[in-house]
Chain A
Amino acid sequence: MTKGYLALILHAHLPYVRHPEYAYSLEEKWFFEAITECYIPLLSAFQELEKDGIAFRLTFSLSPTLLAMMEDPFLQDRYGDYLSKQQELAHREEERTGGDPVFFPLARMYRKNLEHVSSFYNEKYGRQLVRPFKELQQGGYLELITSSATHGFLPLLSVQQEAVYAQLAAGIMHFEQVFGTPPKGIWLPECGYDPQFEEIIGELGLHYFIAATHGVLYASPRPKYGVYSPILTPSGTAAFGRDPETSHQVWSAKEGYPGDYNYREFYRDIGFDLDLDYVGKYLHPPGLRSNTGFKYYRITGPDNHKEPYNPQWAANKTWEHAANFIFNREKQVEYYGGLMDRPPIVVAPYDTELFGHWWFEGPLWLKNLCRQISGNQHLEMITPGQYLERGYPLQLSTPNASSWGDKGYYEVWLNGENDWIYRHLHQGARRMIALASDFPNAEGTLRDALTQAARELLLAESSDWPFIMTAGTMDMYARARQTSHMARFLKLERQIRNNSIDTSWLRKLENADNLFPQLDYRLFQPMSETLPVEREKLPAI
């Protein structure tokens, strides 16, 4: 009999990065690395499990900006070129290490991995990465959900409820356009929740969202079962709280699995270790020291001394760590189960980019976890959507405002490094709402300009920009993106108001910031003016 449920949730997100104006973009490389190291290895692992008849269940959140990048022909071509170059480097690495009993097999491993990625991406799916996700959803293995349009951090946009509504609705609509069905649940960016959203969440017909641990734990009235049963919020949406123990086991850099000495060392990469004469051509951009993904050492120990990587040892560790994870979950659900009238649900959300990129062995660990858990007497993998179908009565309670960022609230996105952006974002939202109110039925060029203005505002709202400003790496880029999208919005707004739309500039913007082709600017219509009946006239969500 099932003693408890495990809901693993992978949230995949990258900001919209697409720079045809540059021959090389470091930021596009985030996306390319994620495809090679995370998305395809994970998808392949899922397909192998399916082939082996393992009935696993995972929830996979794909942010709308990530979906848009996966579908973009320019980025598909660029990734194709990037991948060819990686494969060329793999061949040269085999030549360079030829005969070396330690390093040659590692070079061969990378060559084979890349061959697999290429055949998966180019041949099997014709560069359409959303297709394998769709297949796995249809097979009942993945529950696909999404996030707000550009991953805007909603609590700090909520001075204008319309801005929150537009972020969520545009994200949900894009998801539906890609997958044909609306998502059952939503990943609130950074688990950023504020009780002010309740009305909006209710209106969007979502079944559930994921909250930070203390989002549910500090809900009011006090949740009887803590985070081990979802609560029902005033809008009739279920809130699932993150389990802190599972986060700790995987995330903790000290005690977490990814820090095991047998696992691959992220910080030893031939992009830094080898002569520029040799490796420079394969760097991105050429000649500038950066990671290539070819890493030949294991973590080894706490200091700088590194021993060569041994894939077999690492693979054995993933099996051990998967078993350890399951053992701990069994103990955990036994403990909580004794206090509850229903099986506890352990909700374990992770950033997808951890698996494969930072933690090279992450996809294999996950595969082993699914394998070991199938047939387990006490634990059942479940998605939040499936859990809700089981019909356990839920306690009515309002979650606490919170996020999963450092310190648990909003400071990561609101501090001395980034607080200046909100003056502009709120002003932008005010103006966009006024535009949507003043031009309720625009057609032709005017409509295009209004739509592009909405797009620019959404792009300016990405949580990634203030996050990167806080982290202090690549912050020049984040500042430039934030201010550019805001400036483009302001200029468009002025042209619309003055009836002086510069069509040729507008077309350039549409080509550059080209995500969400079916975006409807009327999503920004004032809440006070829009009756629920009128909302139904908007594209179905």
Chain B
Amino acid sequence: MHDDIPSWEDLDGGEILPLSYGEDQLVLLTRDPYWLFAYWEFNEETKKDVEKTTRKPWGELEFALRVHRFNKGNKKESYYDIKIDPSALNWYIQVGVPDKQYKVDLGYYPPGKGFVPVLTSNLASTPRDNLSDIIDDKWRLPDWQARRLFWRIARSSLSSMEMMLHREKHYREVKRKGGLPVD
């Protein structure tokens, strides 16, 4: 607009976001009561070490995510492995159990041997998707009253996103019917 106002590109100063940062990193995020999301990257040295130990190129190794489940009291409950593609950089993990804690290892299976973890994630929790079973006796409603209370609350719930989606649907319908173009 004016000569003295720098452009968007000037402000970015030629910097471009890297695809990754070359660090050993495995981060676990909660998505909802049933799903987690993990992303990761490896340091080049780590990769070389693994290749040296296994005498196999990175791309030929068998990789897996080992998903550990803990209860809210940090007691280990179970684990399972998900085989993943060596080129993957992230994964949605269907853990399937709300109200638990999880930790994930990313590692490989050396030929004929057990799982070797390389990266370990932070802990992530899945939220509850229902009423808590824990009831404080000092704050207890008689059952019939509690049923009345919770039944009515559960009956109607709408999120703002649902409204947005509805509006978008409306917009698409209008367009499809050859109606008005809208912004």
Contact = CB atoms under 8 A, between A and B. Distances in A.
B159 A408 contact: yes
B1 A23 contact: yes
Nearest to A224: B139
A286 to B, nearest CB: 14
Interface in B1-43: 1-2, 5-8, 10-13, 15-17, 20-21, 23, 25, 27, 29-33, 35, 37, 39, 41
B15 A339 contact: no
B88 interface: no
Contacts of B27: 159, 422-423, 426
B174 interface: yes
A333 interface: no
B171 interface: yes
Given A253-B166, A471-B164, A490 B159 contact: no
A453 B152 CA distance: 49
Given A217-B153, A339-B148, A408-B159, A290 B183 contact: yes
A371 interface: no
Given A225-B149, A290-B183, A351-B160, A21 B8 contact: yes
Interface of A: 19-23, 155-156, 159, 194-195, 213-214, 217-228, 244-245, 247-248, 251-254, 256, 267-269, 272-273, 289-291, 304, 335-336, 339, 351, 358, 395-397, 400-402, 404-412, 414, 419, 422-424, 426-427, 471, 473, 480, 483-484, 486-488, 490-491, 502, 505, 508-509, 512-513
Contacts of A20: 1-2, 5
B129 interface: yes
Contact of A252 (B6, B10, B15, B163): B163
A502 B139 CA distance: 61
A400 B136 CA distance: 16
A218 B166 contact: no
Contacts of A21: 1, 5-8
Contacts of B10: 508
Contacts of B128: 218, 220, 400
Interface string B133-156: 111100111000100111011011
A415 to B, nearest CB: 8
B15 A488 contact: yes
Nearest to B40: A423
A422 B33 CA distance: 20
Given A267-B180, A508-B11, A423 B20 contact: yes
Contacts of A291: 182-183
A23 B7 CA distance: 12
A252 B158 contact: yes
Contact of A406 (B7, B145, B150, B162): B162
Interface residues of B, number: 72
Contact of B182 (A252, A267, A427): A267
A247 B170 CA distance: 20
Given A218-B129, A225-B149, A289-B181, A248 B7 contact: no
Given A21-B7, A253-B170, A289 B183 contact: yes
A285 B152 CA distance: 49
Given A225-B149, A291-B183, A414-B29, A404 B159 contact: yes
Contact of A159 (B122, B135, B162, B166): B122
Contacts of A471: 164, 168
B90 interface: yes
Contact of B139 (A335, A395, A419, A473): A395
Given A272-B180, A487-B15, A221 B159 contact: no
Nearest to B89: A423
Which A-B residue pairs are the 8 nearest by beta carbons? A406-B161, A220-B132, A409-B32, A487-B15, A401-B127, A253-B166, A224-B139, A221-B136
A397 B133 CA distance: 13
B136 A272 contact: no
B157 A339 contact: no
Contacts of B139: 221-224, 395, 397
B179 interface: yes
7 contacts: A245-B156, A339-B145, A401-B127, A414-B29, A423-B41, A488-B11, A491-B12
A436 B177 CA distance: 56
A222 B31 contact: no
B14 to A, nearest CB: 8
B130 interface: yes
Contacts of A256: 163
A226 B149 contact: yes
A224 B140 CA distance: 6
Contacts of A509: 11
A88 B126 CA distance: 55
A484 B12 contact: yes
Given A221-B139, A410-B30, A512-B6, A402 B127 contact: yes
Contacts of A217: 131, 150, 153
A75 B33 CA distance: 42
Contacts of B168: 471, 473
A410 B162 contact: no
B55 interface: no
Nearest to A504: B6
Given A224-B140, A508-B11, A22 B158 contact: no
B177 A304 contact: yes
A407 B161 CA distance: 9
Given A222-B132, A224-B141, A405-B161, A244 B149 contact: no
B76 interface: no
A140 to B, nearest CB: 29
Given A291-B183, A304-B179, A22 B149 contact: no
Contacts of A408: 32, 159
